[in-house]
Each structure stands twice: as C-alpha cells, then as structure tokens.
Structure 1
Amino acid sequence: MKRIDIGIGDLNISKDSDTVLKTYALGSCVAIVIYEPIHRIAGMVHVALPDSGINKAKSESKPGYFVDTGVPLLLDMMSKSGALKNKLIIKLIGGASVLDDKGTFDIGKRNYLAAKKILWKYGLGAIAEDVGGSISRTVAITTDDGELTISNARKTWRI
C-alpha cells in the first residue's frame, strides 16, 4: 500500500486505489479529512493555526498551515479532481489541549471552531469528530474505502 504523509501545514489528495493519507501527532492541530465515495477521492489537511492574518507570507507559501486558507484549498483540490460536493464525507480530528493545561491559548479549540466555521461557510459539516482532550492523535484514511483510523501510543480506533 502506498502512503502519503501529510506534515504540519501540508495537504494532499489521492484517488489512486491502495493509497493511505496519513498525518502524525495531532496535538492542538486539526486534521480535516474529506472522502468522496463515488470517485474514491481522499483528502487531508493538517492545520496548525486558525487564521492566516497573523502571517500572510506563511499563508502564501504554506496555505495548509492555517484553517482559513487550507480548507478552501483542499476543497478546491477535491473539486478539481472530480469530487461531488454533495457526496463529501468530512471528519475532524485533533484540537487537543496539549502543553496548555490552563487553556491560556486554547489553540486546539480555536482550530476546531475555525474548521467548523469555514466548513459551514461552504454549506458543509463534519459527520464525525474526535477532538479535544489532552491526547495526541495519528490519523490515516484509505482511498479505496474511506476507512479512517485514529491511533495514539495506547490504542487504535475508528470514527
């Protein structure tokens, strides 16, 4: 099976069968994972911050780093590959409070809420979420069936 790794601020799609899109160690970051089952197209973006307004240069060089630039780009990539908007299955993973026990910055929650807001702007919503808490998550989705697996050091589960 071919694996495409998605790093922090990266995004990618695949419609090649027998491919896995995978991202590692989601703490406060959020993975927005999209699957279109008719054409078997999987997409993922690993966002680190909610708003690109804090660093325009970075948003231009690495749009996947921010929710407000990464999600629209991912949706555009999916559409250009033939994905049907009314068939998109969207899942959100991450947004934990890691290394911020007192919730001072609350980046995880802010990323999660920004993702929900931008999806809503496009008339979309997530059908499943595994967000919050204080654990880091690794996420993988397969292109052939859209199976999404989440894991950490202790266990593996699906949503």
Structure 2
Amino acid sequence: MENLIKVGMADLQTSGHPCVLTTLGLGSCVGIALYDSNKKIIGLAHIMLPSSLQARNNSNIAKFADTGIVKMLNDMLKLGARKENIVAKLAGGAQMFAFSDSSDMMRIGARNVISSKEKLQELNIPIITEDTGGNYGRTIELFSEDGRLLIKTIGHGIKYI
C-alpha cells in the first residue's frame, strides 16, 4: 500500500508521490482535492464552513473554504508544485438533514461548495470534476500517481472521478 495519510475534519494535508490522502465521512463538509500532474504533488482539505469571516473562532484555517484552500495551495507550492499545473476536484457538500426552515444558514453543504468554487476561481485553479450535493456522506481517497479521486458512499456505490 502506498503511503496513506488521513485528513481529519477541519484538517488539510499535502504530499508528494507516492501517497494517498484520505478523509472519512464528508457530509455537509467539502473535500477539496488539488493535484499537480507534472510533479505528482497532491493536497486534500476537509473544510467544514464556507467563510472564516463569519466565524468568531477562526484560528483553525483548515476549517474554512476561504482560508483552507489558500493554505493548502501554499503548502503544495513549498513542496515544488507549480500553480499553473494544479487542478481541483470537489466532493461532499451534502444536505444531510431535512429542515423545515430552508434558510441559508441550514444549507451549509451547498454554501461550502459555492464558497470552495469561488475561492478556486479567484486563485485561477480549474475544477475539472466534482461529486457534490445529494443527501449522503462520502469517504474519499486522492492518489498522487494520477490524481484520481475515489469516492465511496453508502447506498450510492463506489466510483472514481
């Protein structure tokens, strides 16, 4: 088995080849996978909230889409990745519970996806594929060998994107 590194909730990791980064139980959280195909450098963030600007305690930058993506990108660049070679894949952002109140505060999964996309666009990192939304959790594994993202679900099968 290749070097397997677990990414916790509100956590991020980066690594060179050979490596697999994995995170468990993405519900409304979003897994943001970054990959430099030339250098085979990968990064995976498990973000919980869309914006650090709306949080009182924002000391953990990996918890938020706006700050976590920037930190992960900088960590990858330190490992030798080149920004122009990096692409992104997104997974998660599910609506795990049915709320009678459909206010934006409750639509955390969708807001996490939107915020992640906005930050990646701002950084000029193309999103090449995504598996987001729905009402089920996901466990993902990102492979440094080729950037493939394995998505495991309960009741919705296993696939690569």
- What's the TM-score, normalizing by structure 2? 0.91
- Paired residue for 1:70, among 57, 62, 68? 68
How many angstroms apart in 1 are the aligned matches of 2:61 and 2:126?
21
Distance 1:56 1:83 in 2: 33
Instruction: Describe the superposition over 1:32-76 as per-residue Cα deviations: whole angstroms up to 9, x where unpaired.
Output: 10111111101000000001123354x32x211011110110111
**Aligned with 1:91 (options 71, 85, 89):** 89
Secondary structure at the residue paired with 2:127? Answer: coil
Q: How does 1:115-130 map to 2 (within 5 A)?
A: 115-130=116-131
3-state SS of the aligned residue for 2:159? strand
Equivalent residue number for residue 30 of structure 2: 30
Q: Distance in 2 between matches of 1:146 and 1:122?
A: 19
Aligned to 2:12: 11
Q: Cα RMSD between the aligned structures?
A: 1.4
Unpaired runs of 5+ residues, structure 2, are none
For structure 1, the residue ranges without an aligned partner over 5 or more in a row are: none
Compute the displacement of 1:79 (Å): 1.1
SS in 1 for 2:46: strand
8 A Cα contact 2:94 2:137, kept in partner: yes
Distance 1:107 1:55 in 2: 14
Identity score, percent: 35
Distance 1:11 1:56 in 2: 21
Q: Is the 8 A contact 1:116 1:125 kept in 2?
A: no
The list of structure 1 runs, each at least 4 consecutive aligned residues, that deviate by more than 6 angstroms after superposition, is none
Pairwise CA distance, 1:101: 4.4
**Higher mean C-alpha displacement, 79-88 vs 128-137:** 79-88
- Mapped pair 1:158 → 2:160: yes
Matching residue's letter, 1:99: F
Q: Distance in 2 between matches of 1:43 and 1:100?
A: 32
TM-score, structure 1 as length reference: 0.92
Question: For residue 84 of structure 1, what is the amino acid of its counterpart?
Answer: R
Change (3 A) 1:100 1:69: farther
